[in-house]
């Protein structure tokens, strides 16, 4: 039985604005350089890579599930799924952090260990029985924390 389910996407306005600005700048560079040999790299980057990054980010999602005995963290399209038995969790707590410093996506942090985050600045800090740590970003951190406490 699922006790908690959440799906999150990259929804930071600054990210989409940055991609739009980069794309616009590249298109303007193409227009000014023209289709010369030197301008071909701008064509490839501007008309291929930047839109592909935007499409990729539009489909990536962080899915967090807590069942009767397992925490599942799936960063679909970005990272392999991680499953943690609830019995392996020693401690967990709701935390507020500096989202832009902790970072978005999947990364390693000295403070939080492995971080799974797609938006916001709240989540659940988890310490496993083996001493390893992780942080799961959540828009519903209190609910996730409560679901982890049910065993």
Q: If pLDDT is split at 50, 70 and 90, which confidence band does 64 have?
A: very high
pLDDT at 129 (0 to 100): 96
pLDDT at 111 (0 to 100): 83
pLDDT at 40 over 80: no
**Residues paired with residue 133 on neighbouring β-strands, in sequence order:** 127
Contact 104, 8 (CB under 8 A): no
What average pLDDT does the chain have?
A: 79
Q: Give 115-147 pLDDT, tens digit per residue.
A: 998 877 899 999 999 999 999 999 999 999 999
What tokens appear for 75 in the block? 């960063």
State whether the Cα torsion 75-80-82-83 is positive or negative.
Answer: positive
Q: Give 73-132 pLDDT, tens digit per residue.
A: 998 777 899 999 999 999 999 999 875 555 677 888 888 889 998 877 899 999 999 999
Task: Please tell me what DSSP assigns to residue 120.
Answer: S
Q: Specify burial of residue 2 (Cβ count, 10 A radius: 0-12, 13-18, 19+).
A: exposed
pLDDT at 107 (0 to 100): 85
Q: Give 11-37 pLDDT, tens digit per residue.
A: 656 555 666 666 666 666 656 665 555
pLDDT at 98 (0 to 100): 74
Task: Please tell me what DSSP assigns to residue 68.
Answer: S
Q: Give the mean model confidence (pLDDT) for residues 35-46.
A: 59
Contact 124, 84 (CB under 8 A): no
Q: First vs last Cα of the chain: how many Å apart? A: 12
Contact 61, 76 (CB under 8 A): yes
């Amino acid at each position: 039985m699922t006790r908690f389910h959440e799906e999150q996407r990259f929804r930071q306005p600054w990210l989409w604005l940055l991609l739009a600005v980069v794309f616009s700048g590249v298109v303007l560079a193409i227009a000014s350089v023209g289709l010369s040999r030197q301008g071909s790299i701008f064509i490839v980057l501007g008309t291929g890579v930047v839109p592909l990054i935007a499409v990729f980010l539009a489909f990536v999602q962080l899915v967090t599930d807590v069942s009767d005995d397992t925490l599942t963290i799936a960063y679909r399209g970005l990272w392999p799924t991680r499953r943690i038995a609830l019995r392996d969790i020693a401690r967990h707590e709701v935390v507020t952090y500096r989202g832009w410093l902790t970072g978005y996506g999947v990364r390693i942090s000295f403070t939080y260990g492995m971080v799974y985050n797609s938006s916001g600045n709240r989540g659940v800090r988890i310490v496993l029985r083996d001493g390893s740590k992780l942080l799961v970003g959540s828009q519903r951190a209190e609910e996730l924390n409560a679901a982890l406490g049910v065993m």
